[in-house]
Chain A
Amino acid sequence: KAGVTQTPRYLIKTRGQQVTLSCSPISGHRSVSWYQQTPGQGLQFLFEYFSETQRNKGNFPGRFSGRQFSNSRSEMNVSTLELGDSALYLCASSAGDAGGNYGYTFGSGTRLTVV
């Protein structure tokens, strides 16, 4: 069974640009959550999608957005990149409504560097 796949693994962007990150959950998982990980702030919740609907959203500016497709794949987009957006972006999937209660399965993350 394939794990959670995040692409790309590494990304370098310039301030002001926008970026799209992709996440393919484990087959059959309908919930996808996104986290931003930085040395200073640790793991911070961005948003959660379930069956194409955003169910929860963290405390991030509107420059951060996401969506989920009918096949459960998810994308997150960051517009007008700032230096502070440099981070490891982690995607996690879980099965069903309460699947997160059994824990998430994480991808290996996308390392975004903004220069």
Chain B
Amino acid sequence: AQTVTQSQPEMSVQEAETVTLSCTYDTSESDYYLFWYKQPPSRQMILVIRQEAYKQQNATENRFSVNFQKAAKSFSLKISDSQLGDAAMYFCAYRSGLAYNNNDMRFGAGTRLTVKP
């Protein structure tokens, strides 16, 4: 079964600085999708960024970028120019590209990010 591991329960960053959140996953599949979600205190999970496994180019979304290392099964999230509004719980997630069966999204345990003013 695919598993997602986030080894940093908590991280903190100074406002305007850069922080990197780590994520590793375990799979024997070659077709899959990886995601980072943000969950602020309002509870709603918000999609931050998405990566397709067959694309070598790392995804970027404004201040958010990933470092996707397929061979190492690593998918880290870099937040540049951190803002107070970035403070939240961040979840890494995996979804199999195989159709239908057992391709529910699997989540890591999360990393709580604190942004210091």
Q: A-side interface residues toward B, CB under 8 Å?
A: 33, 35, 42-43, 45, 48, 55-56, 58, 88, 90, 92, 97-98, 100-109, 111
Q: B-side interface residues toward A, CB under 8 Å?
A: 33, 35, 37, 42-47, 50, 52, 91, 95, 97, 99-110
Which residues of B are found within 8 Å of A58, using beta-carbon distances? 104
State whether B44 touches A108 (Cβ < 8 A): yes
State whether B103 touches A100 (Cβ < 8 A): yes
Report Cα–Cα, A48/B99, bound state, in Å.
13
Residue of B nearest to A88 (CB): B43
State whether B47 touches A104 (Cβ < 8 A): yes
Give the dominant DSSP class at B's interface. Answer: loop
Number of residue pairs spanning A and B whose beta carbons lie under 8 angstroms apart = 54
Which residues of B are found within 8 Å of A55, using beta-carbon distances? 100
Give the dominant DSSP class at A's interface. Answer: strand
Report Cα–Cα, A58/B106, bound state, in Å.
11
Given contacts A56-B100, A98-B99, contact A45 B106 (CB under 8 A): yes
Report Cα–Cα, A92/B91, bound state, in Å.
15
- Smallest CB separation, B36 vs chain A (Å): 10
State whether A56 touches B102 (Cβ < 8 A): yes
- Smallest CB separation, B42 vs chain A (Å): 7
State whether A100 touches B50 (Cβ < 8 A): no
